[in-house]
Amino acid sequence: MAVRMYAPKNRYLRIMVQNEHGVFKGQVRVTPDEAVDMNLLRVAVEESWGLQDDALVWVRVVRRSIDARKIPVVMQLTVEAGGEGVPEPANEIEDWVWQDVSNSPEVFIIGSGPAGLYAALELIMQGVKPIVIERGKDVRERRRDLAALTKDHLVNPDSNYCFGEGGAGTYSDGKLYTRSKKRGHLKEALEWLVVHGAPDSILVDAHPHIGTNKLPAIITSIRETIENSGGKVLFNTKLTNIVTENNQVVGVELESGGVTEIQSCESVILATGHSARDIFEMLVNSGIKVEAKPFALGVRVEHPQSFVDTVQYHGESRMNLLDEERLPAAAYNLVAQIDGRGVHSFCMCPGGIIAPCSTTPGEVVTNGWSPSKRNSPFANSGMVVTIDEAVWEAAGFSGPLAAMQYQAAVEQACWEAAGSTQAAPAQRLTDFVEGRPSRDLPECSYLPGVTPVDLNMLLPKMVVRSLRKGFIEFDRKLRGFIHEDAIVVAPESRTSSPVRIPRDKITLEHPELKGLYPCGEGGGYAGGILSAAMDGRKVAISVAEKMATPI
C-alpha cells in the first residue's frame, strides 16, 4: 500500500508518495545549484518532504524543467529517492530486441530521415524486411558535401543538410520537442534513440536536445541495427517513378550510378522529407494526387546568447562559483497575431549556428542548429509568417504545387540579391524594423557569409509587414528583442512541407493509389524529429497489418 505524505509549507512544497518497496517519488522545486549537486539535492529533497536529515541515501531525477518566469529561477524536478537498505530501481528502458527479417516479405521505404528510419525499425519489430532507399550519402561521406556547401558554396542536390543519411534530422539540432499527447509512443521513440547512443538525459528533460555533433553516430547505429536485422539501406539511390497497375503500386523505378532499374513491390512508404521537390513533381506528372499546403516563411534572427540569457534568467548567472554550468543556454518562444495572421518563432537554437540548407543550385535557404553543449556565443531562431492560399494565389501561383513554387521563388530571389552564391541577404534587426538599409552588419554565425541587403525591398510585402509588426510585439514580450547587435538573415523557408500527399485516415494509404503510404514531414503529417519518427512507426504498423491480413 502506497503511503501519501505532504511536505511542510516551505519553498519546496510538493506532494510525495512512498511505495511498498520504500522508494519515495515526488516533486521538488530547487535552485539551479541544488539541481546540479547531488548532495545539495538530497538535502533539499529531505527538507521538502519533511524527512529527517540523512534519511536518504540516493536521489534520482526522472523529470526536469526550468521555471524562469520570476526571480529566482527555479528547477522543477520529479525525483525518486531511497534510504538505507532501499535499492535504486533498475533502468526502466525496455530491452528492445530486433528480430531477423532476412527472409521476410519486403517493404520499400523512400528516405532515411526520422520517419523512414523509425518505419524501418518498426517493420523489423513486425517481422517485415525494410528496404530503405536514400538518394544521398552515408553520414561520413555526407560531411564532405556539407563542408563544400559551407566553404565553397557548392550545392549537391542529393547530399546536403536536407538529403543524406538521417535526412534533415541529422543536422538540424536534435531538438526533440513535440506536442504529441501519446506519452507511451513518445517514451518509446526516445528510448529507441537512447539504445542507439543518445544520452539518457533526453528521457528526463522537459525539452530534450541531443545536438548536431552527436546525432551522426546515433543515426549510424540505427542503420547498423537495420542491416544487422536483415534489412537493407541503399545509398546514392533515387526514386524516379512509382510503377502502378489498376490503381495499385506494383514497383518502384530506381536510379543509381546512372543505371535505372525497376524493383517489384506492393507497398511503398514515402518518407522523403519536406524538400524533395522532384518527388512532388514526379507524383503530379504521374497523375498521383497531391495538394498545396499552407506553410510558414520568414527569416532567421540571431542575437548574442548573453542577451537572451540575461533577459530570460533575469540577470542570474548561468555559471556557479566554480565556473560550472548551473543553467543551460536560455531559449525563448514567441507568438503573435498580426492582422489576423500568425507570426511566431520556429526552431529556436540557443548557443547555435545558422546553417546553409539549399538543396538546389540557384537558391539560398537558412536553418539553425546547436551543438550538444550549446556553447556558441549566438542564439538564433526562425521568425516566420503563415503563408496560405490567398498569399500564393495573389503572387500568381496556382495548382497542387503552388505553395512550393512560391517558396522556391523567394529562395531564388534571395540568392540573386546576395550575389548568386550561398552568401545570404541580411540586415540589422533595428534597420529592418525602421525600414532603412544597413550600412554594416554585426558578427554572424552563418559561415558562407552575409551580404547587406534591404530585406524590406526583397521579401514579399505581406511577410515584411507581418514581421516588422511582430518584432515590435516581441520586443514588448522579451524586452530588448530589437537589439542593436541582432541580425536578420533570409530566408527561413523550409519550416514544413508546402505539399500534402493525401492518405486515408484509417489505412494511411493514398486514397487513389493502394500500396502508397505518405509519411512524415514530406507528406504533411509531421513537424519535427519526434513527430516524424512516430508517424513512421504508425505507418509501418498499418503496412504490416495489411500484409498480415488474408485477402
| DSSP output for 94-120 | ----PPP-TTS-EEEEE--SHHHHHHH
Does the pLDDT at position 2 exceed 50?
no
What percentage of the chain reaches a pLDDT higher than 90?
A: 83
Residue at 544: amino acid letter: A
pTM: 0.93
For the chain, which domains are there?
Answer: 3-82 (no CATH), 106-290+499-548 (3.50.50.60), 295-492 (no CATH)
Sheet of 450-452: strand order equals 335-338, 341-349, 378-387, 295-304, 487-492, 424-428, 450-452
The two counts, helices (H) then strands (E), for the chain are: 16, 24
Lowest mean pLDDT among 93-97, 131-135, 230-234, 508-512: 93-97
DSSP conformation letters of 485-516: T-EEEEEE--SS-SEE----TTT-SBTTBBTE
Does the pLDDT at position 530 exceed 70?
yes
* pLDDT digits 0-9 by tens, 316-345: 999 887 778 899 999 999 999 999 999 999
* pLDDT digits 0-9 by tens, 81-105: 999 999 998 777 878 889 999 999 9
CA dihedral 122, 123, 124, 127 (to 10 degrees): 130
Q: How many residues are present in the chain?
A: 551
Question: How is residue 34 written as a grid cell?
Answer: 541544488
Higher-pLDDT residue of 95, 145: 145
Could you give the C-alpha distances from 24 to 475, 491, 539, in angstroms and in order? 44, 51, 39
pLDDT computed for residue 7 by the predictor:
40
Helices (H), 16-158: 32-36, 38-48, 114-125, 139-152
Does the pLDDT at position 550 exceed 90?
no
* pLDDT digits 0-9 by tens, 353-400: 999 999 999 999 999 989 888 999 999 999 999 999 999 999 999 999
pLDDT computed for residue 208 by the predictor:
86
pLDDT computed for residue 25 by the predictor:
93
Q: What's the chain's Rg over C-alpha atoms? A: 25
Other CB atoms within a 10 A radius of the CB of residue 286 amount to 12
Does the pLDDT at position 64 exceed 50?
yes
CB 73 within 8 A of CB 330: no
pLDDT interval class at 262 (50, 70, 90) = very high
Is residue 210 exposed (0-12), middle (13-18) or buried (19+ Cβ within 10 Å)?
A: buried
* pLDDT digits 0-9 by tens, 403-442: 999 999 999 999 999 999 999 999 999 999 999 999 999 9
Does the pLDDT at position 8 exceed 80?
no
Mean pLDDT estimate for the chain: 92
CB 494 within 8 A of CB 355: no
pLDDT computed for residue 5 by the predictor:
41
Question: How is residue 191 written as a grid cell?
Answer: 528510448
Which distant-in-sequence residues (6+ apart) come within 8 Å of 45 by Cβ? 12, 24, 28, 51, 56, 59, 79, 81
Is residue 156 exposed (0-12), middle (13-18) or buried (19+ Cβ within 10 Å)?
A: buried
Average pLDDT for residues 134-138, to the nearest whole number?
96
* pLDDT digits 0-9 by tens, 272-319: 999 999 999 999 999 999 999 999 999 999 999 999 999 999 999 998
Average pLDDT for residues 442-451, to the nearest whole number?
97
* pLDDT digits 0-9 by tens, 184-238: 588 899 999 999 999 998 999 988 888 888 889 999 999 999 999 999 999 999 9
CB 444 within 8 A of CB 403: no
Is residue 3 exposed (0-12), middle (13-18) or buried (19+ Cβ within 10 Å)?
A: exposed
Question: How is residue 53 written as a grid cell?
Answer: 536529515
